[in-house]
Amino acid sequence: MKDSTGISMSVIRRLPRYYQYLTDLSNNGIERISSSELAEKMGLTASQIRQDFNCFGGFGLQGYGYNTKQLANALAGIMGLDSDFSAILIGAGNLGRAVAAHLFSEQNGFKLIAVFDSDKKLEGKKVGKFSVMHMDALEDFCRENKPVTAVLCVPDEAAKEVALKLDSLGVKSFWNFSHFDISSILPNSRVENVHLKDSLMTLCFLIKSDMEKNKEKH
């Protein structure tokens, strides 16, 4: 599957991993690395890495490899990590508070500008530097501030109504922590799903498989 840029989504989804690895290497004083060395660290092949980078023009020099800091900076530019796209967060429960506190503290392309919740009891409560606003204020806020992205930390049963409301207010991209399939009702929106339970169940399956294999050996 390809994005509208013509680049494979699998390549796009590897960019953050490349960026994190290269940033860590640079911060640890490693100035350059070959595609083979990077491939070994990331569990990929050197040819795969070269093919991925060639989608964006290629960066390495033959016989030298990649300058870790320069390549990390180049990837940050490609991903738009200096963009500060405005984002609002819907759902100020435990998950929403954790997301607001920890995932917007670094430069990642987005700037959180407001937190909303439908619970009147949470109105005015602090989530980081933000006072929680009631959903009644959402329409006026969106029309005045025109947020680009909404982070949905709401129950599955509320996600559809919230997404449709946001779409009507001009929000066309979503970081979705619910299990509701927003793309099914808003096919032209950008949706990135974060399914934490799915990830945990995947881990459960892998552990169970390992245990069954060990039993067979004995």
Start and end residues for every CATH 1.10.10.10 domain found in the chain = 9-78
Question: DSSP labels for 63-129?
Answer: TTBEEHHHHHHHHHHHHTTT--EEEEEE--SHHHHHHHHHSSSS-SSEEEEEEEES-GGGTT-EETT
Alpha carbons 76 and 59: distance in angstroms, whole number? 13
In the predicted model, is pLDDT for residue 106 greater than 90? no
Q: First and final CA of the chain: distance in angstroms?
A: 43
Whole-prediction pTM: 0.87
Q: What percent of the chain has pLDDT over 90?
A: 82
- What's the pLDDT score for residue 217? 74
- What's the pLDDT score for residue 104? 82
61 DSSP 8-state letter: B
Phi/psi of residue 173, each to 5°?
-145, 145
Does CATH place domain 9-78 in 1.10.600.10? Answer: no
pLDDT digits (tens, 9 = 90+) for 156-199: 999 999 999 999 999 999 999 999 999 999 999 999 999 989 99
For residue 56, what are the contacts with CB-CB under 8 A and spacing of at least 6? 74, 78
Q: Which residue has the tokens 């793309």?
A: 183
Q: Which residue has the tokens 């989530």?
A: 127
In the predicted model, is pLDDT for residue 69 greater than 80? yes
Phi/psi of residue 177, each to 5°?
-95, -5
Alpha carbons 15 and 23: distance in angstroms, whole number? 12
pLDDT digits (tens, 9 = 90+) for 110-135: 999 999 999 999 999 999 899 999 99
pLDDT digits (tens, 9 = 90+) for 3-21: 556 889 999 999 999 999 9
Domain topology for 85-198: Rossmann fold (3.40.50)
Start and end residues for every CATH 3.40.50.720 domain found in the chain = 85-198
In the predicted model, is pLDDT for residue 62 greater than 70? no
